[in-house]
Amino acid sequence: MTEAAVPDAIAERLTPFPTDHFLSATDLNPPAAHALLDLADAFAEHNRQTSSRPLDLMAGRTVVNLFFENSTRTSSSFEIAAKRLGADVVTMPVQASSVAKGETLIDTAVTLNAMAPEILVVRHGASGAAHLLSQKVGCAVVNAGDGRHQHPTQALLDALTIRRTFGDVGGLTVAICGDVAHSRVARSNIALLSMLGARVRLVGPPTLIPSAAARWGCEVFHHMREGLAGADVVMMLRLQLERMEGALIPSTREYFRFWGLDREKLAWAAPGAKVMHPGPMNRGVEIDSDVADDLTVSLIQQQVEMGVAARMAVLAALTERRHGGGR
Ligand code: NCD
């Protein structure tokens, strides 16, 4: 398929990524974050044109998706984003690859690196895995989630969704609710949303809010009613049972009663409050379907749509950093 020329609205906003890799939301600073959001906005509009052909921003370049943990939306979102930029994409089915034969993370990455990809997108269960890889390869590394540590493109797509809905992130009160302890989404969002001027609250039972949270500059609440009072955005987190050691909650039924977002609890938030969730959702555990599927309050589908635009912005800006105008 022939690639399309880059529309002016995108070309004007394309600036180099501030760092060689995107490993953490803290790699950004306020001007860089706003520049990426502006670029992502332009991609979002472009993506809505049904006839859009792939752009030539990454033509002839390869993006490798390396997912050691299961993923539906993040891996497909990166794949679509890279294809829309004209890149060739290889998604490694890690279960069926040499990894299943015991090849280590580093061996796998070094092997893939020898095939000279432009960007390696990595998800791994160990915190710090993407950082480790970035020191071993010659391409740019994008962290698509490392353990409970960081998931920076999720924070970017969440900020994009919030900015498009409210016009600005600054000045909003965002309540991040539930299993903060095991959530890389929470850690990345705390960093980016605070950087953009939002007031971030953490709301959950003491067993699911890490004690370090006091140092993160967020207000902490152990009751939904108090935590949601006046919140403009209610961001629910998945209860990450696979990362829990020991019983941190009595039962999922009881969890829903106290912490699950339903209409009654949502009414405690500010008038016009919006609901977010990174997916996958445990319906009836941390969120009621009635709220999740109500398009007048739920931004969950928009988050998925904005995921593609935000990842296009990251991939394009990293390529711009590596090659400048010399595409
Ligand atoms: C999140 C993740 O993998 O960290 N999901 C996602 O990227 N869409 C959140 C989660 O798994 O609960």
Indicate the pTM of the whole model: 0.96
Counting ligand 1 atoms within 8 A of each CB, the residue from 148, 185, 304 with the most, and so the one to mutate, is: 185
Tell me, in angstroms, the distance from the centre of ligand 1 to residue 118's CA. Answer: 25
Residue closest to 30 by CA, chosen among 215, 229, 209, 163: 163
77 lines ligand 1 (CB under 6 A): no
Tokens of 153: 């493109």
Ramachandran sector of residue 8 (left: φ over 0; alpha: ψ -120 to 50; beta: rest): alpha
- pLDDT for the residue 101: 67
Q: What is the pLDDT of residue 53?
A: 86
Ligand 1 close to Cβ of residue 123 (< 6 A): no
pLDDT at position 214: 82
Q: How far is CA 88 from CA 60, 65, 144, 209, 276, in A?
A: 7, 11, 18, 41, 32
Phi/psi at 201 (nearest 5 deg)? -115, 150
Amino acid present at 43: F
Kindly provide the residue ranges of all beta strands, DSSP E only, lying in 158-287, ordered along the sequence: 173-177, 199-203, 219-221, 233-236, 274-276
**Amino acid symbol at 251:** S
**Run of H or E including 247:** none
- Determine the Cα–Cα distance for residues 267 and 42; give it in Å rounded to an integer: 34
pLDDT of residue 259: 97
Structure tokens given for 199: 């007031």
Backbone angles phi, psi at 145, to 5 degrees: 120, 115
**Burial of 242 (C-beta count, 10 Å sphere; 0-12/13-18/19+):** exposed
The residue with tokens 């539930």 is: 178
* Residue 320 to residue 313: CA distance in whole angstroms: 10
DSSP H or E segment with residue 92 = strand 88-92
State if residue 184 touches ligand 1 by the CB under 6 angstroms criterion: yes
For residue 307 and ligand 1, the question of a CB distance below 6 A is answered with no
Long-range contacts of 4-8 (CB under 8 A, 24+ apart): 4/52, 4/53, 4/54, 4/55, 4/56, 5/55, 5/56, 6/55, 6/56, 6/57, 7/42, 7/46
Q: Which residue reads 């299993």 in tokens?
A: 179
CA distance 48 to 318: 23
* pLDDT of res. 241: 86
Is residue 145 in contact with ligand 1, taking CB distance under 6 Å? yes
Ligand 1: residue of 187, 238, 242 to mutate (most ligand atoms within 8 A of CB) is 238
Q: In angstroms, what is the span from residue 22 Cα to ligand 1's centroid?
A: 17
Q: Hey, which of 69, 74, 283 would you mutate to test ligand 1's pocket, going by the most ligand atoms within 8 Å of its Cβ?
A: 74
CA distance linking residue 283 with residue 278, whole number of Å:
13
Using the atom order of ligand 1, give the atom closest to the CA of residue 71.
3
| pLDDT < 70 stretches in the chain | 1, 51, 95-102, 325-327
